[in-house]
């Protein structure tokens, strides 16, 4: 197992469902000790979310299992005096406190930034919310689909006929969680120099808009609003999804040399000399005609055959996989992306969870334990607080 950069860092995780738990899962993979603080008898809402009703009933919904391996669970009622005292003791020994309540909820419970900073001046407090802790929308409820809509993301997903469409997974939750994990890590690194904690106010809306790249920058710089283009790439042609003999094939011939190589390999070198396709801008202007010509040539072979022809020649190409095909990719197996864990309920079932997508010194970071049952570490609360009753650590030591 590789040395993990956040080993020794302690995270109190008060989050639910996805953006927050995804963030703390990444921190756990990086070595942090993550303790989920869950409402007694209820826990993370994701415990009841997933396609299998029986797992949802037992508090082990697939949505929970996917993001909570390697964490601990302690039930604490922040409205109970005894539990509040224990929570304060844990805050004093924590490096990070992470929550994704609606803006101001934790403050109304008596644990806003001022109080948390008094308890632990070195604490990194990260609050993830839909719109941030300030502003006219700060109190509005937000789910992934709400953010997808307001960010403009849905308006450019699909075609002229089908847009707006939702991206097929909770991308804004994921982006919000990754943004939080990045800034938590940066704040911990900065603390090693300043000795001071930080309040991180993460807005899922702002994180989503930031991640939209050219869709936003083209409008800001040139005043050109993006349009839905289905499976095509607005920045180049031919770049998008095409038709092979057995299904869709993605090709991204974004450079002139790649375009010319593609034309050679599909036996359509005449397209190189066609004035409609002479350069990038003219290919974009005549995208539909170029796509028609290439589809006619590409239908002669299967997606696999074209992958084996185009990719070695430097033309990015790959079939469009469904999720079952994706999880069976040899590439993911080679890099150890998935980890098999025992099921939390002790059954013979195997739980497969995803990694971070990063190898550390050539090795993947894996969770060492399955997701916890609700309150699994309740009996260890005193020992946990005793162990944490030392000054919080640093990511970087001098």
Q: Going by DSSP bridges, is the β-strand pair 10-13/96-99 parallel, antiparallel, or unpaired? A: parallel
Q: Among residues 344, 312, 188, 319, which one has the least CA distance to residue 244?
A: 319
SS3 per-residue string spanning the chain: CCCCCCCCCEEEECCCCCHHHHHHHHHHHCCCEEEEEECCCCCCHHHHCCCCHHHHHCCCCHHHHHHCCCCEEEECCCCCHHHHHHHHHHHHHCCEEEECCCCCHHHHCCCCHHHHHHHCCCCEEEEEECCCCCCCCCCCCCCHHHHHHHCCCHHHCCCCCCCCCCCCCCHHHHHHHHHHHHHHHHHHHHHHHHCCCEEEEEEHHHHHHHHCCHHHHHHHHHCCCCCCCCCCCCCCCCEEEEEECCEEEEEECCCHHHHHHHHHHCCCCHHHHCHHHCCHHHHHHCHHHHHHHHHHHHCCCCHHHHHHHHHHHCCCEEECCCHHHHHCCHHHHHCCCEEEEECCCCCCCEEEEECCCCEECCEECCCCCCCCCCCCCHHHHHHHHHHHCCCCCCCCCC
For residue 98, the cross-strand partners are: 13, 126
- 77 catalytic per annotation: no
Residues in the chain: 398
Q: Which one of the listed residues 13, 173, 279, 322 is annotated catalytic?
A: 173
Q: What's the CA gap between 330 and 22, in Å, rounded?
A: 25
Just list the catalytic residues.
173
């Amino acid at each position: 197992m590789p040395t993990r950069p956040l080993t020794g860092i302690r995270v109190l995780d008060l989050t639910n469902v996805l953006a927050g738990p995804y963030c703390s899962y990444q921190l756990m993979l990086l070595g942090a000790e993550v303790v989920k603080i869950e409402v007694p008898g209820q826990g993370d809402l994701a415990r009841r979310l997933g396609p299998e009703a029986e797992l949802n009933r037992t508090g082990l919904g697939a949505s929970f299992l996917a993001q909570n391996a390697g964490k601990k669970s302690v039930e604490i009622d922040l409205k109970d005096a005894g539990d509040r005292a224990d929570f304060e003791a844990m805050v004093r020994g924590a490096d990070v406190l992470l929550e994704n309540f609606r803006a101001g909820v934790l403050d109304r419970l008596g644990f806003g930034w001022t109080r948390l900073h008094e308890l632990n001046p070195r604490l990194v407090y990260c609050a993830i919310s839909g719109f941030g802790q300030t502003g006219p929308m700060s109190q509005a409820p937000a789910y992934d689909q709400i953010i997808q809509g307001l960010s403009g993301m849905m308006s450019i997903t699909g075609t002229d006929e089908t847009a707006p469409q939702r991206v097929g997974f909770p991308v804004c939750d994921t982006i919000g969680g990754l943004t939080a994990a990045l800034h938590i890590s940066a704040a911990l690194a900065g603390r090693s120099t300043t000795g001071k904690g930080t309040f991180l106010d993460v807005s899922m809306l702002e994180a989503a808009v930031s991640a939209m790249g050219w869709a936003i920058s083209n409008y800001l710089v040139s005043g050109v609003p993006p349009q839905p283009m289905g499976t095509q790439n607005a920045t180049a042609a031919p770049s998008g999804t095409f038709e092979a003999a057995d299904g869709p094939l993605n090709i991204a011939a974004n450079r002139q040399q790649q375009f010319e190589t593609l034309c050679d390999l599909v036996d359509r070198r005449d397209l190189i000399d066609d004035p409609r396709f002479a350069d990038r801008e003219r290919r974009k202007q005549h995208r539909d005609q170029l796509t028609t010509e290439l589809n006619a040539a590409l239908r002669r072979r299967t997606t696999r055959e074209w992958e084996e022809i185009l990719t070695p020649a430097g033309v990015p190409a790959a079939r469009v996989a469904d999720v079952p095909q994706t999880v069976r990719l040899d590439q993911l197996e080679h890099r150890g992306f998935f980890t098999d864990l025992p099921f939390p309920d002790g059954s013979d079932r195997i739980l497969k969870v995803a990694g971070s997508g990063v190898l550390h010194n050539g090795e993947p970071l894996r969770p060492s334990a399955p997701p916890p049952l609700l309150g699994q570490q309740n009996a260890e609360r005193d020992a946990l607080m005793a162990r944490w009753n030392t000054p919080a650590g640093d990511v970087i030591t001098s």
